[in-house]
Structure 1
C-alpha cells in the first residue's frame, strides 16, 4: 500500500509539472541577488529612492545597464535598478578576445598581483566583471584579471549587434528633443523608468496613445511623452540640461573621451579656463559638446560648476526628488535665508522637486503646499542639478593638505575577503582625492605615491615640515566579526576633533555608508601630530559586501567628494 501511494504521488507531481507554465528564459540576461535585503532603486544611483527589497538568491532578469548599475526585472514583473557589485551575474557574459600575444592574466586588478596565465592573440574569453581599467575574465588558459585596453569584442558579438541597428524602409523614426528624457514601462508618469535618452537620439516609433509614444531603443521598448519627440530630420540645437549648469575646466589639459570612463578613447583635448554646458552626468563624468555636432565625456572633478546666466528663478524640473542630508533642516516660505521657516525636516526625508529658483529648490510639501530648501543641504536625483554652495572652493585654495595613504611596501595592511590589499586601495583613494583637491586650488602632497614602505614618524614629519593645514590618513578597516561595516574617523587631540567630525559627516553622507561617527583614537599619525589631523577608516574589507562596494568607481568618487567637502566646511568654519 505504501509503495502504491508513493508511485501515485510521483505520477501526480510529474503530471502537475507538465501543466505548469514554463519560467521565462533568461539565459545570458539572468542574475541573482548577491546579498540579503538587496535594495532595488527607482534609478541608477544611490540617490534614487528604494522601490523594493529582495532576498539573497532571488532571480532577476537584466534589462539594461548604466555605469555600475543594472536595471532588473523582479519575479513579480516590477522593474528597478540594483548595484552591479551586489549581484551574482550569469557567467554567459560578453565574449571578447585578446588583441596582443601573451596577455598576462593576473590574480587581481593591478600589475602588483601575481600572474596566473596568459592569453594569446585572438584567444576567446568571457567577461565576468570590470573594475576601472581592469577586467576579470574566464578562459581556457586561466581565470583572472587582464588590462581592459588589450581586449576587443569577439567578431560574433560585433556582428550580432550590427544586425539590430538598421531599420527597414517603412519604419517611422523620430528624434529626442529633450536634454534627458525618461523612458517608462507604461504610458504614464507613474510607470517605472526603463532608461534615459539624450538630446538628438533617434528612436523607432511603434504606436501612440493619449499623448504618449511607444518607442524601440537599444533592443528594448518603452514609452515617452510625445511632446519630446521630433521628426528625425529636424535639427536640434544642443542646450545642455534644463538646469543650465556649466563646467569650467580646471586642469591644464583635459582629455575628452567617447564614453564616461578612463577606458574611453580620447577624442579631443580641452584646456584650462574653457567653459562648456554640461549635458549629462553619470558617476562623476560629464558629457559636454566639444564643438558643433561633436560630444564627449570628461572627468567631472576637473570641472568647476556654475549656473549659466541669471534666468534660473522659477525654472521647471522634471522627475526630480530631493533627499534631506541633515536633521532639523529648515524649509522656508521663500528662497531666502531671511524667509520664514514653515517646516523642519530630518535626514533622509524625501520631497518632490517642483522648480529651481537660483540655488534653492522649491519642494512639494503635504497638502500641495510649496516650500524652499537651500540646494547645498540636500541631494537630488532626476534632471534637477546638484547645487553646491557658492564659494566653497575658496576655502580650499592655497591650503596645504597632506594625504597619507596608509601602509605600503612590505606592510600590506589588512587583506580583504576577496584578497584586496589595504595598501593598494588607500593609494587609489588618495590619488583620486589628490586630483580633486588640486583642481580646487589646494597645495596637496602625498606621503607616498607608490607601493613603498614609510615609517609612521616620517609621515608625521611631513605634516610638521610643510606646516600642513590638514593631514588626512586614509585607511580601510577589518574585524573578526564579518558582519561589521561602516566608516569611522578618528582624532586624538581636542584641536583635531572638528576636522574629524566634518570629514566623517560629509563622507558618510556622500557614500551612504553606515556612519560610525568621529571618535577618539590612539594612533601614532594623529597622536604625534601637531597639525589638524584625522585618520579615516572608509570601510571594512573583512565584510564581503562592503569590500565589493568600496572597490567600485562610484564609491571611490563619492568618498573623495565627501572628504573634499568636509575639508571645505572645516576651513570655512575654522
Structure 2
C-alpha cells in the first residue's frame, strides 16, 4: 500500500516535469560547426551560466543534446558545454537511423523562382522558419535530402523545397547563368558605377547611364552582376535598376506580383484615391497579390472576394510590376537638403559588438547606402564624416544649420550590459522634431522587421542643440549576439537604408 505522502510527492514531481524546458535527444553522429568568428560556450543552457570557453569559426563538435535555443556539445576530455543554436551550422552523419543521407549535388549555385520562399531550420515543412527569400535571389547550394535543398544566403543557412530553386552547374559559363537568371535591369540613376565585386568598397571598373538595359547575370545581397561591355562583367547596386522578368525559354508565364505591407494600420480603400472609404486595415508583413495598377495604387483581391486598393508608397513589391513608392519618393525628396550624421568615428569607436565590430564602421556604412539612394532621388546630401575621422558634436550640428537642412539624421547602433535586450529606438528632443522621428522610425522598423522600442524623448547633443528638424536613430543592439549578426549583413544594411529613405519620403509627402 502506497502512503498518501508518497503519492503527493510523485504528483508534484510529474507537474514540475511538465514545465521543465524541452530537451531533444540527439543521434551520436550529429555535430555542429561554428559559423561565426567566435562563440561563447557556457556551463548551462542560458546566458546566466558561467563561461566555459570560447570556440572559433570552422571548428566542429559532437552534439550531446538540445534544449530550446541551446545545444550541448562535447568538448575535450569528456567536458561538455552549451551554446546558442543560431551561431552554428548543424550537420547530420549519413549513418543515422531513419534519416535519409544527404546526397551531394552537382550544382553549387541557384536562383529562387518563387515570389517568397521560406528557409527552414530542418528539411521539413513543419520546421521553424529561419529566413525568407524573394524571387531572383542568388543562393549557394550545399546538399540535397529527398525534395529539400540545403542552401546558404548571406549569414543564413537552412533548407528549402527544391521545386523553388533553379540550379546552375558548377563551372557553367556566364552566358548560361545570364539566361537562367531571367531578369533584365534598366538603369534608373543618371550615372551608375560598375564595381569589381558586390560592395561599395570595391574598385570602380566602369560606368553605365540612365536608360541602358542589361541582362542580370547574378544577384547577391541587393547587388546585380551585369555584362556592361562585350565580354566584361561587373557589379552594380541593385536598387538603381528597374527589373523585369524576361520570358523563359520554356515559355513559362512571369511570376505573380506580391506586395508586402510595411506599416501597421495601413488602409485598404474602396477606390484608388485617399478620398475613398476605408474597407479594411492591415498590418506590417501582410501580403497581397496585385491584379493591376491604377495611377499610384495597387488593385488587390481580399480573402472574401472584395476588390481593394492600397497606396503604392505604403508597400514593397516582389515581381515585375513597378515599385510605385520609388517614383513617388523621388518627387517628394527632389531638391530637399538632407544631412546624414554617421555616429562616432576616429578615436571614438562607439559601441563594440560581441564579435568585435565597431559602431563607427557600421554607421558610416549605413550612411553611404542611404546617401546613394537620396542622391538618386535628387536630394542634396551632405555627410558629416565620409571616412574614419573624429568630428566634434558641435561641428555636426553646425553643418545642419549652415546648409539649412530640411532633415538631419544621426545614425547609431546601441549596446547594453544585458545582452538579451534588442530592437530599434528613435529619438527626438524638440516637439518640432517628433513627426519626422515617427515617420522615419515606423518605416525603418517595417523594412527591417526589427523589434520596435518606440520613439521617445532623448537628451542628445546633436538633436538638443539642433535648430533644424533632427532625429537620432539607434538601429539595433550590437551587444545582442543574434541582432549583431543580422545588423552586419548586407541585407539588413540595405533594408535599413531603404526604410530611412522611405520614411523621409513619406514625411515630405505629408509635410511639403
1:264–1:431 CA distance, 2 compared to 1 (3 A) = closer
Partner of residue 311 from structure 2, selected from 368, 371, 374: 374
| Cα separation, 2, equivalents of 1:221 and 1:452 | 44
1:346 corresponds to which residue? 282
Q: Could you say what secondary structure the match of 2:260 adopts? A: strand
1:247 correspondence with 2:195: no
The two structures have a TM-score, normalised by structure 1, of: 0.56
Partner of 2:340: 403
Distance 1:282 1:383 in 2: 19
Residue 88 of structure 1 is matched in structure 2 by 88
Contact 1:317-1:384 within 8 A present in 2 as well: no
Give the aligned partner of residue 69 of structure 2: 56
Does the 8 Å contact 1:318/1:384 carry over to 2?
A: no
| Aligned position for 1:298 | 236
Does the alignment pair 1:444 with 2:457?
no
Distance 2:160 2:302 in 1: 34
Q: Which 5+ residue runs of structure 1 have no aligned equivalent?
A: 1-19, 37-53, 60-83, 93-160, 167-175, 200-213, 226-231, 309-315
The DSSP-based 3-state class of the residue aligned with 1:467 is: coil
Q: Is the 8 A contact 1:85 1:549 kept in 2?
A: no
Give SS of 2:187's match. Answer: strand
Decide whether the 8 Å contact of 1:317 with 1:356 is kept in 2: no
- Indicate if the aligned counterparts of 1:540 and 1:546 stay in contact, CA closer than 8 A: yes
Quote the Cα distance in structure 2 between the aligned partners of 1:184 and 1:508: 21
1:285 equivalenced with 2:223 (yes/no) = yes
Q: Distance in 2 between matches of 1:264 and 1:217?
A: 30
Once the two structures are TM-superposed, the CA of residue 548 in structure 1 deviates from its matched residue by 1.9
Q: Is the 8 A contact 2:290 2:298 kept in 1?
A: yes
Q: Deviations over 1:23-80 (max 9, x none)?
A: 776787999x9999xxxxxxxxxxxxxxxxx941469xxxxxxxxxxxxxxxxxxxxx
Q: Distance in 1 between matches of 2:289 and 2:304?
A: 15
Assess, with a 3 A threshold, how the Cα gap between structure 1 residues 504 and 30 changes in structure 2: closer, same or farther: closer
Query: Separation in 2 of the partners of 1:383 and 1:24?
Result: 46
Partner of 1:430: 367
Task: Indicate the residue corresponding to 1:393 in structure 2.
Answer: 330
Answer yes or no: is 1:481 the counterpart of 2:494.
Answer: no
Counterpart Cα distance in 2 of 1:505 and 1:438? 22
Per-residue deviation, 1:330: 2.9
Structure 1 residue 272: deviation in Å? 2.7
Instruction: Tell me which residue corresponds to 2:488.
Output: 551
Which of 431, 435, 446 in structure 2 is aligned with 1:494? Answer: 431
Find 1:509's aligned residue among 416, 433, 446: 446
Q: For 1:198 and 1:346, locate their aligned partners in 2 and report how far apart those are by CA, in whole Å.
A: 27
Q: Given the alignment of the two structures, is residue 456 of structure 1 paired with residue 396 of structure 2, yes or no?
A: no
Query: Hey, what's the Cα distance between the residues in 2 that align with 1:197 and 1:537?
Result: 30
Alignment check: 8 A CA contact 1:342 1:371 kept: no
* Higher mean displacement: 499-508 or 287-296: 287-296
The total of aligned residue pairs comes to 408
- 1:570 counterpart residue number: 507
Using the TM superposition, give the Cα deviation of residue 299 of structure 1 relative to its aligned residue in structure 2, in angstroms: 0.9
Q: Supply the distance in 1 between the matched residues of 2:133 and 2:334 (Cα, whole angstroms).
A: 39
Alignment of 1:178-189 (within 5 A): 180=113
| Aligned 8 A contact 1:398 1:441 in 2 | yes
Partners of 1:363 and 1:409 lie apart in 2 by 50
Unpaired runs of 5+ residues, structure 2, are 1-24, 47-66, 73-83, 93-103, 120-124, 138-146, 152-158, 165-171, 246-252
Compute the displacement of 1:289 (Å).
Answer: 5.7
Which residue of the partner structure matches residue 152 of structure 1? none
What is aligned with 1:269?
A: 206
Could you say if the C-alpha distance between residues 374 and 480 of structure 1 is closer, same or farther in structure 2, counting changes exceeding 3 Å? Answer: same
TM-score normalised over the length of structure 2: 0.62
Question: Is the 8 Å Cα contact of residues 507 and 566 (structure 1) preserved in structure 2?
Answer: yes
**C-alpha distance in 2 between matches for 1:564 and 1:476:** 18
What SS does structure 2 have at the residue aligned with 1:542?
coil
Mapped pair 1:523 → 2:460: yes
Query: Is the Cα–Cα contact under 8 Å of residues 198 and 223 in structure 2 kept in the other structure?
Result: yes
| Aligned-residue offset at 1:504 | 0.9
For the residue of structure 1 that corresponds to 2:411, the secondary structure is strand
CA RMSD between the two structures: 5.3
Distance 1:418 1:441, change over 3 A: same
Structure 1 counterpart of 2:358: 421
1:155-234 aligned at under 5 Å gives the runs 164=106, 180=113, 224=163
Give the distance between the partners of 1:421 and 1:501, measured in 2 at CA: 27
Distance 1:375 1:569, change over 3 A: closer
Matches of residues 1-150 of structure 1 in structure 2 within 5 Å? 55-57=68-70, 86-89=86-89
CA distance in 1, matches of 2:209, 2:401: 32
